[in-house]
Amino acid sequence: MNKGLLGKLGMDSKMALGYFGVLLFMMGDGLELGWLSSYLIDNGLSVQQSALLFSVYGFAVAVAAWLSGVLAEVLGPKKVMTLGLILFVTGTVVFLTVGIPTMNLAVMIPTYSLRGLGYPLFAYSFLVWLTYHAPVERLGTAVGWFWVSFAGGLNVLGAYYSSFALPYLGEMKTLWSALIFVAIGSVLAIFLNKDDGSNRKVFESKAAMFKYISKGITIAFERPKVGIGGIVRTINTAGAYGLVVFLPAFMMDVGFTRTEWLQIYGALWTSNVIFNLIWGIVGDRVGWRNTVMWFGGIGCSVFIMGLYYVPHTFGPNYLATMAVAICFGACVAAFVPLSALIPSLAPENRGAAMSILNLGAGLSTFLGPAIVGIFIGTVGTLGVLWIYSGLYVFSSILMIFVTLPKKENATAKAADIAITQ
C-alpha cells in the first residue's frame, strides 16, 4: 500500500483508476433508472409490458452477479470485465436502434437484458480483483471505496446527469450518451489500471474448470457461513429497492410534492454513497461483523420505520423526513463489510464466495418489489414497512453465526469484540 495521499485514504494507487472507471461505467448504466419506464409507457408500452421488461432485466442482473465471481477467477478479472463491456454495448446499440423505435418486446427484452448481464460482469469482477489485491487489514476500506464508486455512479451521478441532460438532449440522445461514460470508464478500469489482475486459477482440464464454476453455488453449502452471508446481502438492499414501488404515493398523500420526494430519495442515496466508505473504515476498526449486525441490520430496521412514522406524525416536514432518509441510506451502507468478511471465510475460493454475495445483491432486486406486490393489498404501506423492518432484524440475528476463524480473525485486527460484550 502506498504511503501518499491515496494510501492515507485507504486506496492503493495501482487500483485508483479502476475505482474511477467503475464510477463512470455505472453512471452510464444508471442514467435511465429514474425515468425510462415512464418514457416507454408514454410511447406505447403498457404498465404490464414495462414491468415484464424490467423483471427480465433484473433476472439477468442476478445471473450475471452470481457468475461474476467464479468467472473472474476462471478467466481473470480483466477478461470478464471486457466481456461485460461487450455485452453492455451490444445490448445498448440494438435496444436503441431497433427495440425502442419499434417498441417490439421480442427485441427489447433480450437486448435490454444484455445490459443487465453486462454491468455485473464488469463491476463485480473488479470487486473480486480488489479482494485479492488489497491487504486484509485494509480490505474493508478497499471495498468501501468500491461501493462508493458503484453506488455513486449508479444511484447518484447517473440520476443527476439525466436531470440536466434530458431537457437539452431528449430521451434518446441521453440514452446514447451512456456509451460515452461506459467507454471512458472501461478504458480506465481495464486498460489503464496499473495492477495486472493476474489472479486467475489454472485448471488441469475443462471438467475441472466447470466444477469450479459450480462452486459458485455449492460453496454456500460447503461453507454455511458464506450462504448465510448471501441471505444477509439479499436483505440488505431489498428495502431500498422496494420503497420506490409504493412509498412515493404515500409521501404525496401526506403532502409532499413530487420534487420534494425526489430530493428526499436523492439524499438517501447520497448518504449511502458517503457512508459506503465510512463503514468500510469503521469495519476495519470495530469489526466487520459488528458493523453489519448493529449499524446495518438494527439501524435499517429502525430508520425504515421512520420513513412512515415521521411524515405520518408530523406531516410533510421536509427536513425531518430527509434526516430519516439520510440515516436509512447510511445504515443500508453499513452492510459494506460483508464484501470483506465473506471472501475471508473462504480465502482459497474468494471468487466463489463473492459469487454468493453478488447473487444476493441481484436477488434483492426481486425480493424488495416482490414483497410489495404480495402484501401491499392486504397490509398496506405500514405493514410492508414492518415486514422490511423484521427482515433487517432477522439479518442481524443471522450475523451472530457469521464469525471468522481465529487465524483470520486475528489477521483482520480481532474484529468481533466490544459491542457484543
The DSSP line for 85-145 is: HHHHHHHHHHIIIIIHHHT-HHHHHHHHHHHHHHHHHHHHHHHHHHHHHS-GGGHHHHHHH
Region 9-13: mean pLDDT is: 60
What phi, psi does 361 have (nearest 5°)? -60, -40
Res 209: pLDDT: 66
Q: In terms of domains, do 149 and 290 share one? A: no
1 located within any domain: no
pLDDT of 173 over the 90 cut: yes
Distance CA 153, CA 119 (A): 12
Going by C-alpha positions, the residue among 264, 271, 377, 262 that lies closest to residue 311 is 264
pLDDT in the model for residue 199: 56
Cα–Cα distance for residue pair 125/119, rounded to 1 Å: 10
**Shared domain check, 235 and 187:** no
The answer to whether residues 116 and 57 touch, using CB atoms and an 8 Å cutoff, is yes
For the chain, what is the domain count?
2
| Residues 193 and 242 both lie in one domain | no
209 lies in some domain: no
Do 30 and 153 sit in the same domain of this protein?
A: yes
Examine residue 267 and state whether it is found in any structural domain, yes or no.
Answer: yes
pLDDT at residue 137 in the model: 67
- Segments of 321-368 assigned E as strands: none
Taking residues 277-285, what's their average pLDDT? 86
Give pLDDT, residue 419.
33
In the predicted model, what is the mean pLDDT of the chain?
84
Task: Output the pLDDT for position 195.
Answer: 55
In 3D space, the residue among 276, 287, 281, 285 whose CA is nearest the CA of residue 399 turns out to be 287
Residue 135 class from Cβ within 10 Å (0-12 exposed, 13-18 middle, 19+ buried)? exposed
DSSP 157: I
The answer to whether residue 4 is domain-embedded is: no
Decide if pLDDT at 316 tops 80.
yes
With a cut of 80, say whether residue 196 has pLDDT above it.
no
Q: pTM for this one? A: 0.74
- Interhelix angle for 77-94 vs 47-75, to 10°? 160
- Domain shared by 106 and 252, yes or no: no
% of the chain residues with pLDDT over 90:
40
Q: Are residues 243 and 189 in the same domain?
A: no
State the pLDDT at residue 418. 33
Asked if the model's pLDDT at residue 181 lies above 60, the reply is yes
Task: Output the domain CATH number for residue 120.
Answer: 1.20.1250.20
CA distance 383 to 346: 38
User: 25-29, 86-90, 201-205, 254-258: which has the minimum mean pLDDT?
Assistant: 201-205
Identify which of 392, 394, 294, 284 has the alpha carbon closest to the alpha carbon of residue 334: 294
Cell of 199: 489472479
The proportion of the chain whose per-residue pLDDT surpasses 70, expressed as a percent, equals 86
Q: How would residue 21 be classed by pLDDT, with cut points 50, 70 and 90? A: very high
Q: Which of 24-38, 203-217, 248-262 has the lowest mean pLDDT?
A: 203-217
Q: Are residues 56 and 175 in the same domain?
A: yes
Question: How distant is the alpha carbon of residue 45 from its chain centre?
Answer: 28
- The answer on 272 and 234 residing in a single domain is yes
Q: What is the pLDDT of residue 55?
A: 75
The separation between CA 5 and the C-alpha centre of its own chain, rounded to angstroms, equals 27
The pLDDT, as a whole number, for residue 421 is 31
pLDDT tops 70 at residue 409: no
- Specify the range with the lowest mean pLDDT, choosing from 192-206, 217-231, 278-292: 192-206
Domain that holds residue 160: 9-202
- pLDDT of 412 above 60: no
What's the pLDDT band for 207 if we cut at 50, 70, 90? Answer: confident
Which pairs with CB-CB distance under 8 Å and at least 24 residues apart come from 304-313?
Answer: 304/239, 304/243, 304/328, 304/385, 304/388, 304/389, 304/392, 305/385, 305/386, 305/389, 307/243, 307/247, 307/385, 308/250, 308/381, 308/382, 308/385, 311/250, 311/251, 311/254, 311/255, 311/256, 312/254
* Domain end (from 202, 232, 267): 202
Choice between 8 and 333, residue whose per-residue pLDDT is larger: 333
Q: What is the pLDDT of residues 34-81, one digit of tens each?
A: 678 778 888 988 766 776 787 788 788 888 988 887 788 788 889 999
Evaluate if residue 407 carries a pLDDT over 70. no
CA distance 284 to 301: 23
Report the chain's terminal Cα–Cα distance, integer Å: 33
Task: Name the DSSP class of 194.
Answer: S
Residue range 84-117, pLDDT digits in tens: 999 999 999 999 999 999 999 999 999 999 998 9
- Burial, 231: exposed, middle or buried (Cβ in 10 Å; 0-12, 13-18, 19+)? middle
Structural element, H or E, at residue 249? helix 224-254
Q: How confident is the model at residue 331 (pLDDT cuts 50, 70, 90)?
A: very high
- Lowest mean pLDDT: which of 195-199, 206-210, 240-244? 195-199
CB-count burial class (<10 Å; 0-12, 13-18, 19+) for 16 = middle
